[in-house]
Amino acid sequence: MPEGDTVLQTAKRLHSALAGQVLTRSDLRVPRFATADLTGRTVVDVSSRGKHLLTRIEGGLTLHSHLRMDGAWRVYAPAERWRGGPSHQIRAILANTTHTAVGYRLPVLELLRTRDEDQAVGHLGPDLLGPDWDAATALRNLLADPGRSLGEALLDQRNLAGIGNIYKCELCFLARATPWLPVGGLPEPTAVLLVSTAKQLLEANRDRPVRITTGAHPRAGAAPAPRSRRPSEKLWVYGRTHRPCLRCGTPIRAAEQDARPTYWCPHCQTGPTP
């Protein structure tokens, strides 16, 4: 699942391609909205809220989408060949005279009134990359259930919005705690630093060029200089199973947490493990 910085980049690409332009084609290929026609309306803006995408359209409408694991938005020039997947995987097409945005495999796609956006994103905690960011609120949310595992608490978008599985693993490493440590077991200074570090990591990566698909791999900016050109060398632990820890040399371990692959260093990180 893409992290908040990748979703923000996707929003920026869509905004650049669509905002201020009149739609010349609109095709929503989900049963509930298959008859909706947005042709002739102007796209006002495209923004992200955590991992959610909000395309606001003239007339007080918002197209809400979420990429989850496999979804992708791609933008094409008028004569460019579409390469995001077979046509039966297309869920949305928004086009103007200069660009066509195509949404592939979107598990969430709904058209709602802009005034009702809270129905889609109102449950989210403070957005690490948004104007509503509030570190104190995010910290309170994170620590509200002391017995919950740190990894699960970081991924819960109701606590703070934007962290995905990659940053979860990296943040736990930087906090020197395993993802299975009860969040209440974190010393208070570490918990405070963890929240500020999460924001720093996403901010460090939000302006780096990424593809508009979910294939773009976020990089944790706090990692040391890579020892090779392999993508996993840009991260402390994520995707580095059995490879030496970049800090101590101990082989990195992996296991599932809430059905997601989770990585940690058994020497650098303390706390429960599977």
Please check whether residue 161 is in contact with residue 130, taking contact to mean a CB–CB distance below 8 angstroms: yes
Nearest of 184, 172, 149 to residue 274 by alpha carbon: 149
Determine which one of 49, 51, 74, 168 is catalytic: 51
Cβ-based neighbours of 22, under 8 Å, separated by 6 or more: 40, 41, 42, 96
Give the phi and the psi of residue 131 in degrees, each rounded to 5.
-70, -15
Q: Tell me the β-bridge partners of 252.
A: 241
Answer yes or no: 2 catalytic.
yes
Answer yes or no: 51 catalytic.
yes
Cβ-based neighbours of 18, under 8 Å, separated by 6 or more: 43, 46, 55, 94, 96, 99, 101
Determine which one of 3, 49, 74, 206 is catalytic: 3
Determine which one of 68, 199, 211, 260 is catalytic: 260
Answer yes or no: 12 catalytic.
no
CA dihedral 231, 273, 124, 239 (to 10 degrees): 10
Residue 182 class from Cβ within 10 Å (0-12 exposed, 13-18 middle, 19+ buried)? middle
Answer yes or no: 3 catalytic.
yes
Which residue numbers are catalytic? 2-3, 51, 260
